[in-house]
Amino acid sequence: EPEVTQTPSHQVTQMGQEVILRCVPISNHLYFYWYRQILGQKVEFLVSFYNNEISEKSEIFDDQFSVERPDGSNFTLKIRSTKLEDSAMYFCASSVLQLEAFFGQGTRLTVV
């Protein structure tokens, strides 16, 4: 069964460092998303990406964040200068138009 895969599963980084979280969405999907879940809090939408551009973003997704689809299979989230409050589980998801989103297993980011 096709699935969304995310790497790494856990990343520890020092405050101020740049991190790149990687995702391989399901191959025939057209919409790609990043969500995050701070420990003990709700899953929150960050950004959606369609047709090689951001189609929607939340207020969380500020200039420190960027997304890219560098080739036909990967979808990445970059955080330029990490802060302690960026520590969270980051989920990648993909969907075909307005159908259900399939989520990856997540990357746990710990900023120290």
Partner 1 sequence: AQSVTQPDIHITVSEGASLELRCNYSYGATPYLFWYVQSPGQGLQLLLKYFSGDTLVQGIKGFEAEFKRSQSSFNLRKPSVHWSDAAEYFCAVGARGNNAGNMLTFGGGTRLMVKP
Q: Which residues lie near partner 1 (CB under 8 A)? A: 4, 30-31, 33, 35, 41-45, 48, 50, 55-56, 91, 93, 95, 97-106
Q: What gap in Å lies between CA 36 and CA 42, rounded to an integer?
A: 8
Q: Which is nearer to partner 1, 44 or 76 (CB)?
A: 44
Please report how close the Cβ of residue 42 comes to partner 1 at its closest, in angstroms. Answer: 5
- The Cα diameter of the chain in Å comes to 38
Please report how close the Cβ of residue 48 comes to partner 1 at its closest, in angstroms. Answer: 4
Q: Which is nearer to partner 1, 15 or 38 (CB)?
A: 38
109 with 19: CB under 8 angstroms?
yes
Q: Which is nearer to partner 1, 48 or 87 (CB)?
A: 48
DSSP string, 25-75: --TT--EEEEEEE-TTS-EEEEEEEETTEEEEE-TT--TTEEEE--SSS-E
Please report how close the Cβ of residue 36 comes to partner 1 at its closest, in angstroms. Answer: 11
